[in-house]
Amino acid sequence: MQPDSSDVLAKPRQTGASDWRSRVIRADQVGDVALPPWLADSYATLRGHVMHPEYPCFFGTIAERRGEMFYAFVEGADDRTLPETMRTFTRLAAQPEFRRHNIAVFYTPDPTPRTHEAYHDLFWQTLQDLHERDPDPAADEQPPPSDEDWEFSYGGIQMFVVCACPSFDRRRSRSLGPGMVLLFQPRAVFVDTITNKVIGRQAREQVRERLRKWDAVAPHPDLGFYGDPGNLEWKQYFLSDGNEPAAERCPFLKRLRRRIDDAEPAGERDGERGGERGGERGGGRGGERGGERGGAARRDGG
């Protein structure tokens, strides 16, 4: 199911690529959004990185230069607007003029940066929460992360996801500011507009060569190419700062069925889902999850 773009949807004003504020999404609003005081500095830091001539992921550089980026923010622990924000983004991304746009979600900078493990847990919990609230019924039918065809999806749009956070030290390409930043990159970003083919291995190798110069550590061994035998997308979303391989089990759980609407009594809903989740994490889910742990140039650089 593709996102329904027939509904009335505010679009960014046709302004210059440098007018980034016109492309900030907050729930169902695009532009004309009250911005927190910390966001301008966080954005400036990200832009400074990706616009550097030697930045490895030139897909990100191109998107920022052309104004093909949307932005969003999460203040503190309050991410209640994020599902609707992502819904607005996917509805825009389903339209031809925005199909190659990414979105960067900025998190409030932590006074004291979290540990790498804490950012890891926050990242995967965020993806899990979005998946549970995905309005697209087809999300019930997605394969598990152990499937080589799996990619994170929201609102009917498949997206490669990159987590950048301050706990990255040697892997500089994944540190883009004073707070966590999530980059959602729709699959269309990595398709050549002329040939309609996925951008190939030569571009990937160019990114990897740039990574070797930019980072103080070799390209991570889990980085792969979408569609290659044995490649698993989830392992590339949140990397270690060294070159330790990802855990054998993906933290992400495919939902069993579409969430019951909010009209259902909370106690009944939570009790039922609690039982389901208990089974997922226990024997009922163990066999499937055992396989769950174990593309392209686009994401090798983060």
Give the per-residue pLDDT at 295.
Answer: 39
Which range of residues forms the domain containing residue 123?
A: 20-241
Give the per-residue pLDDT at 168.
Answer: 98
State yes or no: pLDDT of 302 exceeds 80: no
pLDDT, tens digit, for every residue of 139-197? 999 999 999 999 999 999 999 999 999 999 999 999 999 999 999 999 888 877 667 77
Tell me, yes or no, whether 283 lies in a domain: no
Q: For residues 203 and 260, give the distance between their C-alpha atoms in angstroms, rounded to a whole number.
A: 44
Q: Which comes out higher in pLDDT, residue 96 or 288?
A: 96
State yes or no: pLDDT of 276 exceeds 90: no
Report the run of H or E that residue 284 belongs to, with start and end. Answer: helix 283-292
Tell me, yes or no, whether 127 lies in a domain: yes
Q: For residues 37 and 108, give the distance between their C-alpha atoms in angstroms, rounded to a whole number.
A: 10
Tell me, yes or no, whether 184 lies in a domain: yes
Q: For residues 39 and 33, give the distance between their C-alpha atoms in angstroms, rounded to a whole number.
A: 12
pLDDT, tens digit, for every residue of 136-148? 999 999 999 999 9
- Confidence bin at 288 (pLDDT 50/70/90): very low
pLDDT, tens digit, for every residue of 19-37? 999 999 999 999 999 999 9
What interhelical angle do 82-93 and 116-132 show, nearest 10?
70
Tell me, yes or no, whether 8 lies in a domain: no
Q: For residues 94 and 146, give the distance between their C-alpha atoms in angstroms, rounded to a whole number.
A: 27
Number of independent structural domains in the chain: 1
Q: For residues 236 and 163, give the distance between their C-alpha atoms in angstroms, rounded to a whole number.
A: 9
Q: Mapping DSSP to helix (H, G, I), strand (E, B) and coil, where does residue 156 land?
A: coil
Tell me, yes or no, whether 222 lies in a domain: yes
- Kindly report the number of other CB atoms within 10 A of residue 21's CB atom: 16
Tell me, yes or no, whether 108 lies in a domain: yes
Mean pLDDT of 83-92: 98
Tell me, yes or no, whether 277 lies in a domain: no
Q: Mapping DSSP to helix (H, G, I), strand (E, B) and coil, where does residue 205 land?
A: helix
State yes or no: pLDDT of 87 exceeds 60: yes
Tell me, yes or no, whether 247 lies in a domain: no
pLDDT, tens digit, for every residue of 62-73? 999 999 999 999
* Token pair in block for residue 64: 């920022």
* Token pair in block for residue 104: 């960067």
Q: For residues 190 and 173, give the distance between their C-alpha atoms in angstroms, rounded to a whole number.
A: 19
Give the per-residue pLDDT at 181.
Answer: 99
- Confidence bin at 291 (pLDDT 50/70/90): very low
What amino acid is encoded at 214 in this protein?
Answer: W
Sheet containing 181-186: give its strands across.
Answer: 69-74, 102-107, 181-186, 157-164, 153-154
